[in-house]
Structure 1
Amino acid sequence: MAETDGARILFDPGTFSRGFEDVRDLDAVLITHQHFDHLDGDRLPALLKANPGAKLIIDPGSQEAVEKLGLESRTALPGDTFTFGGTEVDVVGGHHAEIHRDLPAVPNVGYLLADGAFYHPGDALFVPDQQIDVLGLPTAAPWLKASEGIDFLRAVSPRVAVPIHEKILAMPEMMYGMFKNLGPEGTEVRPLNPGEPVQL
């Protein structure tokens, strides 16, 4: 979740995430793509019911799942801009990283807050044109190898990189160390503790 001066925004409440059920006063819930670890259909309706003012923004590939849940949403396409509580969110990217050539590709949108204050790429390595202050850095996935994550970190070159998408690792600290040792000069890699607020 990201909280700016004007908005509280939750990204990708998926099956591996814990604690989002109790989050309140959300302005928006943003979904990058349809995979279960980013969109938990069992818990999403209750989250939105508890946050009646929150807008649900989804990628094109999540439309069918969200409609089956009976939820109102808006679909985000690359180039779109949304405003929540005075915070602008730009939509970038468009495609999920390839897992394997024999598996179908799905849409994936990234969300860029406040002209680069925070960037959540979802399951993609799209490098935006803007300078990024804080990056949600994909750490481990069936579609990601270490060198790709490091090269993405170097290409974006944020002030702070927060590892995300690490739940499939038994020892995520090994990847954090690689990011720290091989990342760009001037970038701080800062793993977060679940449920613990931090100011970046």
Structure 2
Amino acid sequence: MQLTHYGHACVLVDTGTARILIDPGAFSTGFEGVTGLDAILVTHQHFDHVVPERLDAVRRANPSARLIVDSQTASELSLDAETVEPGRTLSVAGATVEVLGGDHAVIHPDIPVIRNNGYLVDGSLLHPGDAYTPVDRPIDTLLLPTGAPWLKAGDAVDYLRSIAPRIAVPIHEAVLADPALHYGLFTNLAPKGTAVVVADREKALDLKSG
């Protein structure tokens, strides 16, 4: 499996059979020219995870790719999309995608909580979206949210420890002036056996070797 990070929450997951783009949002770049996609997954409706105009560009470049979103995002986008909720398991070009989670993390009690899908690909790689999405089994790779209005660094460390993956790849970093400070915190406080690997932007990372 290979992972390419396009900044913030947007990643390309290549399982060897399927090419899956997740969260093509406003703070990410370089994904518009990606071709050969089998699916585009969106965790939730916030603009840093999906922008209709940029999504349209990806879909034009990948006309056969499935667009898979939560129900609230589907209504916001007004696009032809497959709606999925937690508990669903999908087959995408030979890969398995499990839908986890359900709700976005709380930003503030006065802000309504929206839907948020976490996606677990081939039982191996978890993109949690904007939540500390739990899993009930060991996973190999966690895409770890690094900075957000809803996120405290110490809570992110606790989430990392609760999942205890072999590899943690920091994402969702665009709101930070210096993400490296958080990367260092994750590295220093990661559980035994977990490697924190910062993916070079727009460069494929082989997850077998980390």
Amino acid at match of 1:19: G
- Could you say what secondary structure the match of 2:32 adopts? helix
Mapped to 1, the partners of 2:159 and 2:175 lie a distance apart of: 20
Misfit runs of 4+, over 4 Å = none
Mapped to 2, the partners of 1:5 and 1:36 lie a distance apart of: 29
Pick aligned residue for 1:18 from 21, 25, 29: 29
Mapped to 2, the partners of 1:6 and 1:45 lie a distance apart of: 24
* Residues 106-130 of structure 1 deviation map (CA, whole Å, 9 limit, x = unaligned): 0001000112x10000000021112
Amino acid at match of 1:118: L
Describe how 1:144-163 pairs up with structure 2 within 5 A. 144-163=151-170
Q: Does 1:177 align with 2:184?
A: yes
Mapped to 1, the partners of 2:74 and 2:115 lie a distance apart of: 11
Q: Does 1:66 align with 2:73?
A: no
Pick aligned residue for 1:57 from 30, 49, 68: 68
Mapped to 1, the partners of 2:54 and 2:178 lie a distance apart of: 27
Pick aligned residue for 2:52 from 41, 44, 60: 41
Aligned residues: 196
Q: When the two structures are superposed, what TM-score results if normalisation uses the length of structure 1? A: 0.96
Deviation at 1:61, TM superposition (A): 1.5
Mapped to 2, the partners of 1:130 and 1:91 lie a distance apart of: 14
Structure 2 unaligned spans of 5+: 1-11
Q: Which has the higher contact order (CA 8 A, sep 6+)?
A: 2
Q: Does 1:98 align with 2:106?
A: yes
Pick aligned residue for 1:109 from 114, 117, 127: 117
Q: Which residue of 2 aligns with 1:191?
A: 198
Q: Percent identity?
A: 49
Structure 1 unaligned spans of 5+: none
Deviation at 1:183, TM superposition (A): 1.0
- Could you say what secondary structure the match of 2:168 adopts? strand
Deviation at 1:86, TM superposition (A): 0.6
Q: Which residue of 2 aligns with 1:135?
A: 142
Q: Which residue of 2 aligns with 1:7?
A: 18
Amino acid at match of 2:83: T
Deviation at 1:65, TM superposition (A): 2.1
Q: When the two structures are superposed, what TM-score results if normalisation uses the length of structure 2? A: 0.92
